[in-house]
Structure 1
Amino acid sequence: MFVKVAKTPEERNDAYYVRRTVFVDEQHVPAEAEIDQFEEDAVHFVLYNEQEQPIGAGRYRIVDGIAKAERICVLANGRGKGSGALIMKAIEEDAAERHVSQIKLSSQVHAIPFYEKLGYHTISEEYMDQNIPHKTMIKNL
């Protein structure tokens, strides 16, 4: 598996395909909420499997001097294999290269243990986003 920064329209479409499959098809997030006004401001990442098929995606943008990781997702057949950690590592490395010292994210509650293993800690109470419970998490880079 390998992660790429999505630089071409095709790579960006690969990211959107994974996001649509996970968030819209599996989690029933409205399609109009999945693609938002921040797409052009974000750095997008795509995780490809050995056959060079997209199986994971994520993005981040810098907000008030802090990297904000968003839309982290992996297709069902790619989960449990370190896929999400590869995406997060690529995002964290890219943010660090831009001299950002912290990264935060809005984690679905069920994913909190995953992010805790990567060094994130919770900084908010539970809240709802698209009818899915979340908590904000942060990590020093």
Structure 2
Amino acid sequence: MVDVRVVADEDERADAFAVRHAVFVAEQGVDETLEYDAYDADAVHFVAYDGDEAVGAARLREYEPKTGKVERVAVLNSRREEGIGRALMAAVEDEAVALDLETLVLHSQTHAADFYEALGYDRSSDVFEEAGIPHVEMHKALVNSRP
């Protein structure tokens, strides 16, 4: 059973960053200077554990009043298709509601857009490039949006 937590200390933050590094920098070739940015200081970070192993990560930050931006959603390659991404997104959405946010926005890699659509996100842009990877912007209203 995967345990998704809001990062509470430096060890958990390091675990979340290690997952991000494995997925975005090592696997996808994103420049490390793009992966870690000024938003990391103020964002709410999440880490998914299977026992003691960090297997997923995400972050949430206020983007505009009442709107949060979901970023850096990552699951280790060896652990995909196990529901970890869905568990991460549920935790992010729960935290967003607790923060009184009404809408979430995210930039999905195009290959992952169907995953987010299955969670109730709607595409709101044409394809654009971010960090050398094709993305689409997606939105979800949080009020009465979760079953």
Q: What's the C-alpha RMSD, in Å, of the aligned pairs?
A: 0.6
Identify the residue that residue 88 of structure 2 maps to in structure 1. 87
Deviation of 1:78 (Å): 1.3
Identify the residue that residue 62 of structure 1 maps to in structure 2. 62
Whole-angstrom distance in 2 between the partners of 1:43 and 1:78: 23
Query: What amino acid is aligned across from residue 62 of structure 2 in structure 1?
Result: I
Question: After TM superposition, which residue ranges in structure 1, 4 or more long, deviate above 2 angstroms?
Answer: none
Identify the residue that residue 145 of structure 2 maps to in structure 1. none
Deviation of 1:112 (Å): 0.4
Q: TM-score, normalised by structure 1?
A: 0.98
Deviation of 1:7 (Å): 1.3
Identify the residue that residue 117 of structure 2 maps to in structure 1. 116
Identify the residue that residue 42 of structure 1 maps to in structure 2. 43
Identify the residue that residue 9 of structure 1 maps to in structure 2. 10
Whole-angstrom distance in 2 between the partners of 1:77 and 1:126: 27
Give deviations 1:18-56, integer Å, cap 9, x for gaps: 00000000000011111101011100000001x221000
Whole-angstrom distance in 2 between the partners of 1:77 and 1:125: 30
Residue identity over aligned pairs, in percent, reads 41
Identify the residue that residue 127 of structure 1 maps to in structure 2. 128
Query: What amino acid is aligned across from residue 56 of structure 1 in structure 2?
Result: G
Q: TM-score, normalised by structure 2?
A: 0.94
Task: Count matched residues.
Answer: 140
Q: What SS is found at the alignment partner of 1:134?
A: strand
Identify the residue that residue 52 of structure 1 maps to in structure 2. 52
Deviation of 1:83 (Å): 0.5
For structure 1, the residue ranges without an aligned partner over 5 or more in a row are none
Deviation of 1:63 (Å): 1.3
Query: What amino acid is aligned across from residue 55 of structure 2 in structure 1?
Result: I
For structure 2, the residue ranges without an aligned partner over 5 or more in a row are 143-147
